Amino acid sequence: MNIDGIRKFASEQLARVPALYLYHSGRHTLTVVKYAREFGELEGLSAVELDMLETAAWFHDLGYVECNAGHEAASARLAERVLPKFGFTAKQTELASGIIRTTKLPVLPATAMEKILCDADVEYIGRSEFYRSGMLLRQELSLLGRDFSELEWLDFEIKFLTGFRFFSAAARRLRSAGQLRRLRELELARKPFTDRKDRIS
């Protein structure tokens, strides 16, 4: 398994992701790679599993080069075509492809590696980085034709944070408290909208 080759290949491919994907940028993927490995180490994955997880992280959003809807499947198909060239066995390729496919919403990961990748994909919700990423996601969705008012955006974020629970023990330990803080902050930010409505009625 040639992980250095994969890093180089994926970095080159990331440069081809259209610029309108402000959130799903190379920076996002690099962050997912970093925390997938960090959570994976804390979860006690083997060296081979860590390399496989990192590979899935590098590939998981490369499908955006091709399309928006269905990008997870496009990412997985790219991995299936390319990974054997980097020394992945048929079994390892299939596994990596399966991990990538589990990042499709709503996420339902089953294995340890799937759980960690899904956690790493949104780990920023447990950090103050949440606001920067959120702003980029909102701008990206707007460029794709989906606009949100301030209140709609707060509700969108609150719904996501309320419904999401980290899957791995490592991510829960490191990010759940931050996730709860973000949720409280969002609810506070939403309060003036409710108060205003109360005044009118």
* Residues of this chain that bind Fe ion (CB under 5 A): 61, 121
142, HSE (Cβ side, Cα atoms, 13 Å): 13
Report in angstroms how near the CB of residue 160 gets to Fe ion at its nearest: 14
Q: Which is nearer to Fe ion, 14 or 52 (CB)?
A: 14
Report in angstroms how near the CB of residue 72 gets to Fe ion at its nearest: 9
Helix axis angle for 112-121 and 47-59, nearest 10°, is 40
Q: Which is nearer to Fe ion, 77 or 190 (CB)?
A: 77
Q: Which is nearer to Fe ion, 82 or 117 (CB)?
A: 117
How far apart, in whole angstroms, are the C-alpha atoms of residue 167 and residue 144? 30
Task: Write the secondary structure of 93-107 as one string of H (helix), E (strand) and C (coil).
Answer: HHHHHHHHHCCCCCC
Report in angstroms how near the CB of residue 59 gets to Fe ion at its nearest: 10
How far apart, in whole angstroms, are the C-alpha atoms of residue 181 and residue 63? 33
Q: Which is nearer to Fe ion, 121 or 157 (CB)?
A: 121
Report whether the peptide linkage leading into residue 106 is cis, meaning its omega lies within 30 degrees of zero.
yes
Report in angstroms how near the CB of residue 188 gets to Fe ion at its nearest: 28
Report in angstroms how near the CB of residue 31 gets to Fe ion at its nearest: 9
Q: Which is nearer to Fe ion, 17 or 174 (CB)?
A: 17
Give the DSSP letter of residue 168: S
